Structure 1
Amino acid sequence: MNTFLQVLTNGIMLGSLFAIVAVGLTLIFGIVKVVNFAHGEFLMVGMYLTYVLTTWMGIHPFATVILVAPALFVLGALTQRFLIQPLMSADDDHIQIFATVGLSTALINMALLIFGADIASTPASGLRTPLQLGPVRLLSGQLAILIASVAIVLALQLFLSRTQTGRAIRAVAQNRAAAQLMGINVNWIYILTFGVGAACVGVASVLIAPLYPTSSGIGTYFVLTAFVVVVLGGLGSIGGAFAGSMIIGLIDSFAGFYIGSDLREVAVFSVFLLILILKPSGLFSSRLNLSHVSP
């Protein structure tokens, strides 16, 4: 029983890690209707910023969030304003996707130019301290990620349902033309949403950097799983992204322990393909979509 509980806990911790990356991705898609293939590189930028602020300036990793999250917000807002927005009137919607792929490549090469190919390790500052909670063990940093992922999901849901700006965002998600007729500045909403989505991944980077080595390719690992999570939970569904993250985390953990670590990705993508065939819209899309957040 103790082994089962430990594997279950590991799955929940892993799921919370995926969730904190995926919520920003699904928020951007749910509102702007653009799949941001540079999302993983936003994470990479945030992790490098955390590394620099921690190692060069001596700031505690968690304290860097007050600088990293706003920096990523600005990066996301500028991306929408100067890269995506000019292309939104193009006849082919795919050109926006190609633009984010180009941005992804540019950010990777900039990281290689500045930091080289070597791995950068952010000081853990006590975040690798093992905690014994009854029969299970986990790291203090993992517990922080779980708490942060739940807090971010709840904060976004409250923001979307309880604030005037959140209601405007939901209106744009539901019907862009009608929102414009109501006097909502749709372009500003898109810029704000892209910034908030990038800021979410900025928070994720601060939490992940002390636990994982930073490199120019770190974003690829997380964003591939985040795409699986977003599609599984339902494109544009914040709650669905969180639920999908937990499902993928548990599958990964149990498959890795009971089947073998070499086959856990096979198990994850097999379940993903099965869900995609049976319910292409995602498991939770109809109930938790951004345009249906309760007022």
Structure 2
Amino acid sequence: MTPVLQCVISGLLMGGIYALVSVGLTLIFGIVELVNFSHADYLMVAMYVAYGLFTFLGVDPYLSLPIVVLFMAAFGYAVYQLTLKRVLHKKHEIQIMATLSMMLVLQNLALMIFKADYRSVRTAYVSSVLHLGPITVTVPRLVAFIVSIAVCLAVYFFLTKTYTGTSMRAISQNNKAAQLMGIKLEKTYCFTFVLGIAMTGIAACVLVPIYSVYPTVGSTLMLPAFVVVVIGGLSSIPGALIAGLLVGVVESLSAYFLGSSYQQLAYFVLFILVILLKPEGILARRKKGV
């Protein structure tokens, strides 16, 4: 029984990481309706920034969080204004090509600058372990899980308790009616995209002690992140959190009972079941308008 419980706990911790990576993508998908295949590569950029601050300035990844978030917000704003703003109202095929192109540009720039080397951040707590009875928990993964819950709650309360958040929810539900009520669609789109990219900075700072940094590191997290977003229901932050935890647990249990080679198969079976039984996602809101 203890190994199964350990698998569940490990799955929840991993699911927290998936949820954290997926929150920004959920905002962009649900509100801006941008099919952003380059989202994981913004995470890669943020991880390199956190790595650089630690390597050259000695700033702990957790303490560098405000700097990385501000950098990614500025970077996201520049990318939005220069490129993605031009494809927002285009067909999804054009958006996919634009974001895939951005993905290739970011990956190849990282490859040119940093080469293909795996770079790691080594701090005193990287290998720290907590023993909770028979359960073992690594400190960096526990921190990532706690940050994930905190970020999801903060974004949820922002969306439900502030005027800007209400405007974003209005656009996600009916963008045409939101415009008629005086909500500035383009400015809200820009703010949402910048917020979504800035949140990759939060994820990067808690993931750098766990994952090595290399040009395609984002790709390892992109696939489960998209699965989490779809299962959760595109624009639902609580849905992303629940789906992330669910995918993490399914992945962990399948590795224990079936073998690690079946991890992806297991959560794709879950993905297909959700698509068949509840295609809008477990906590989705239908969007109207144009």
TM-score range, shorter chain: over 0.9
Q: Quick check: 1:210 aligned with 2:200?
A: no
Structure 2, unaligned runs of 5 or more: none
CA contact (8 A) 1:80 1:190 kept: no
In structure 2, the CA distance between the partners of 1:195 and 1:10, relative to structure 1 (3 Å rule), is same
Equivalent residue runs for 1:145-164 within 5 Å: 145-164=144-163
TM-score (norm 1): 0.93
Q: Which residue of 1 aligns with 2:282?
A: 283
Across the aligned residues of Structure 1 and Structure 2, the Cα RMSD in angstroms comes to 1.6
Alignment of 1:1-295 (within 5 A): 1-90=1-90, 92-286=91-285
In the superposition, relative to structure 1, how do residues 161 and 55 fare at CA in structure 2: closer, same or farther (>3 Å)?
A: same
**C-alpha contact (below 8 Å) 2:126/2:210 kept by paired residues:** yes
Give 1:85 deviation, angstroms: 1.6
Secondary structure at 1:285 match in 2: coil
Change (3 A) 1:122 1:52: same
Quick one: which amino acid aligns to residue 59 of structure 1? V
CA distance in 2, matches of 1:106, 1:187: 25
* Equivalent pair of 2:255/2:262 in contact (CA under 8 Å): yes
Q: Could you tell me whether the CA contact under 8 Å between 2:11 and 2:250 is conserved in 1?
A: yes
Q: How big is the shift at 1:234?
A: 1.0
Q: Is the CA contact (8 Å cut-off) linking 1:238 and 1:290 kept in structure 2?
A: no
C-alpha distance 12-290 of structure 1, shift in aligned 2 (>3 A): farther
Q: Which amino acid aligns with 1:83?
A: T
Distance 1:55 1:75, change over 3 A: same
Once the two structures are overlaid, the 10-residue window that deviates more, 152-161 or 274-283, is 274-283
Residue 278 of structure 1 and its aligned partner are, at CA, apart by 2.3
1:166-212 Cα shifts (integer Å, max 9, x gaps): 11111222222222222222111111101111111110011111111
Secondary structure at the aligned position of 2:127 is classed as coil
SS state at 2:279 partner: coil
Counterpart CA distance in 1 for 2:110 and 2:163 is 38
What residue ranges of structure 1 are gaps of 5+ in the alignment? none
Cα distance change, pair 130–290 in 1 and its aligned pair in 2 (3 A):
farther
Paired residue secondary structure (1:215): coil
TM-superposed deviation, 1:76: 2.0
CA deviations 1:103-159 (Å, max 9, x no partner) are 110000000011001111122331330011222111111111111011011101110
On the 8 A contact 2:35/2:92 being kept in 1, the answer is no
TM-score normalised by L of structure 2 = 0.95
Give the percent of matched residue pairs that are identical in Structure 1 and Structure 2: 38
